[in-house]
Amino acid sequence: MSKNVLAIDDSASIRQMVNFTLKSAGYSVVDAVDGRDGLARAKSQQFDLVLTDQNMPRMDGLALIRALREIPSYQRTPILMLTTESSDEMKSQGRAAGATGWMVKPFDPLKLIEVVRKVIG
Amino acid sequence: MPHWSLRPLVAGCVWTLLVGVVSTVLPDFVGRLWVCIAAVGLGWGAVLLMSARMPGDERADDAEVPMAHLEAELASCMHAFEAQFQAVETESAQVLGVLAEAVDQLSDGFETIHASVKSLPSLAPAAGHDARACRAALRQALAALDQVLDTEARHGHASQMLSVLSEALSTRTAQANALLGEVNAIAKQSGLLALNASIEAARAGDAGREFGVVAEEVTALSQRTEGFSAQITAVLSAMQSLVGDARAAMDVVNGQNTDGVRAVRAQVDQWLATPEAAVDASGSASSLDAPAAKIVEALQFQDIVAQIVGHVVSRVGGMREALAELGGVAHDAALARDAKAVGAVCQRAERIGQRLRALAVRTANPPVGRGATPGGSIELF
């Protein structure tokens, strides 16, 4: 059974690209359009990996990570940030919130697959 | 309460000195003393009578300080506008650069795929497999590829359209800058008016009338300000409309390319699954992964462009609000007839300055990184 990934981004094109990339590598992918949508999906289904953007309406990536880390089943689930934000300050905030890693857009699909394999196999 | 300004005091002192100098030529000391006392007393008395002013004059002096303050606040606002517009221009240039990079990458990727797929028909016969089946599968792949290339051509057209729109955005921003230059000039004019009004009030002693002159000037000033404020708002509205068109164009481009990439991928997958072609294609198949990845990477630039444009829209929106407030200030200035009303106008101008400073802070960090970490980098904590 393939590992499932929750991909959260308010950009339709990024969701499509992440979906396309991870599905071609054999993963099952579920999309969410913002942090609040992602949180709702994460509560309804357990995912092996969460991939989230930072700047989103309604709930941003950092708030989502904090909310997920309060859910017992997501305390050890890898959460990767995929964002255009690249400042050290933002990365520090991400680390403090409980992010597993930080990827800066635009992502290299081959590198994304490599990292996802490294994190969840 | 009467007011004493510097000018009558200076006149009184000059008169005293003059009397003193003239009295030295008088021969009789006692006579000279009485003449001096009488002349100085008369001179100072005349000066005091002439310089004593009616209560209405207070408004002119009171108005001088707020008007100077208003001038300073308006100048500060204009500097903030300038900085915001310069940032808009920089971001527009960033949009153009990102698009150009995306189009280049897409073109490179498609060219590589095209060359790789076209080279495959010659590989199958050389390897001794069924060339007919292999060629049939490849024809399908080529047809899909042609479709993608057609999509790419449309992408190029859409990107050109977006470039034109972005250039128009820059042009309109430059127009707005020119208008703001006029705002600056008028802000300076208001300061000069306030100065002139205070001088006239001191000279004539009838400040009610002079303040009326100031009020008239402020009215004319505010009418002019309202006029170009509306112009700037129209320009900004057009800018936002253009940015909206740009975003719509990007959405169209995005849909076209995603479908195209999916189509070519599906065809290549089908082709790889053809037993006769699989062995011969294996070498080229790996060479197709990298260009496909390149296309996927390039397509993300549209998202980045959308974020930049969104940031521009946010900035422009903030400026529009401030400009609308400025129009209100101009309106109030037109109605101001006393120092209290002018003071209220100054407070509103101060609030605009605060709003612009807050906007500058809020939009200081653009969504697309200017940090040390380059795009595509990955860091695991």
Domains in chain A, CATH or no CATH each: 4-120 (3.40.50.2300)
Task: Name which residue leads in pLDDT, B286 or A113.
Answer: A113
Q: How far apart are the first and last CA of chain B?
A: 74
- Specify the DSSP element, H or E, that contains A55: none
Torsion, CA B360, CA B361, CA B367, CA B368, rounded to 10: 70
- Residue written as token pair 């802000």: B187
pLDDT value, residue B326: 73
pLDDT value, residue A23: 86
Q: With 90 as the cut, is the pLDDT of residue A31 above it? A: yes
**B46 — phi, psi (to 5°)?**
-65, -45
Q: Following DSSP, what letter does each residue of B87-106 receive, concatenated?
A: HHHHHHHHHHHHHHHHHHHH
Task: Name which residue leads in pLDDT, B166 or A76.
Answer: A76
CA distance A45 to chain B (A): 25
Strand partners, A101: A80, B380
Please give the interface size between A and B, counted as residue pairs whose CB atoms are below 8 Å apart.
110
Give the residue-averaged pLDDT of A45-71. Answer: 93
Q: Which residues, 6+ apart, have CB-to-CB distance to B322 below 8 Å?
A: B77, B81, B352, B355, B356, B359
d(CA B153, CA B87): 32
> Is A87 in contact with B371 (Cβ distance < 8 A)?
yes
CA distance A56 to chain B (A): 11
pLDDT value, residue B193: 64
Cβ distance B127 to B279 under 8 Å?
yes
d(CA B324, CA B312): 18
d(CA B137, CA B124): 12
- Quickly count: other Cβ atoms within 10 Å of residue B153's Cβ: 11
| pLDDT tens, residue by residue, B167-185 | 666 666 666 666 666 666 6
The chain-wide mean pLDDT, for chain A, equals 90
Q: With 90 as the cut, is the pLDDT of residue A32 above it? A: yes
With H, G, I as helix, E, B as strand and everything else as coil, classify residue B378.
strand
> Is B258 in contact with A13 (Cβ distance < 8 A)?
yes
pLDDT value, residue B310: 72
pLDDT value, residue A72: 94
| pLDDT tens, residue by residue, A86-112 | 888 888 999 999 999 999 888 888 888
Q: Which residue ranges make up each domain of chain B?
A: 1-44, 56-362
pLDDT value, residue B131: 56
Task: Name which residue leads in pLDDT, B114 or A75.
Answer: A75
The B-side interface with A (CB below 8 A) comprises: 254, 258, 261-262, 265, 289-290, 292-293, 296-304, 306-307, 365, 367-381
- Which among A104, A108, A110 is the nearest to B373, CB-wise? A104
pLDDT value, residue A9: 92
Which residues of chain B are modeled with pLDDT < 70?
A: 1-36, 38-40, 42-75, 78, 82, 89, 92-292, 294-295, 298-299, 301-302, 306, 327, 330-331, 334, 337, 364-375
d(CA A49, CA B350): 50
- Specify the DSSP element, H or E, that contains B363: none
Chain B residue with CA closest to A18: the answer is B296
> Is B376 in contact with A108 (Cβ distance < 8 A)?
yes
> Is A86 in contact with B379 (Cβ distance < 8 A)?
no
> Is B376 in contact with A100 (Cβ distance < 8 A)?
no
On whether ipTM exceeds 0.85, the answer is no
Chain B residue with CA closest to A80: the answer is B380
Pairing relation of β-strands A101-104 and B378-380?
A: antiparallel
Chain B interface disruption, residue of A105, A114, A120, most B CBs within 10 A: A105
pLDDT value, residue B174: 67
pLDDT value, residue B316: 74
Cβ distance B231 to B183 under 8 Å?
no
pLDDT value, residue A116: 93
Query: Which residues does chain A have within 8 Å of residue B303's beta carbon, measured at their own beta carbons?
Result: 11, 13-14, 105-106
Amino acid identity of residue B207, one-letter, is: A
Q: Where are the alpha helices (DSSP H) in A1-108?
A: 12-24, 35-44, 61-69, 88-97
Query: Which residues does chain A have within 8 Å of residue B367's beta carbon, measured at their own beta carbons?
Result: 55, 84-85
Task: Name which residue leads in pLDDT, B268 or A114.
Answer: A114
| pLDDT tens, residue by residue, B257-289 | 556 666 666 666 666 666 555 445 444 444 446
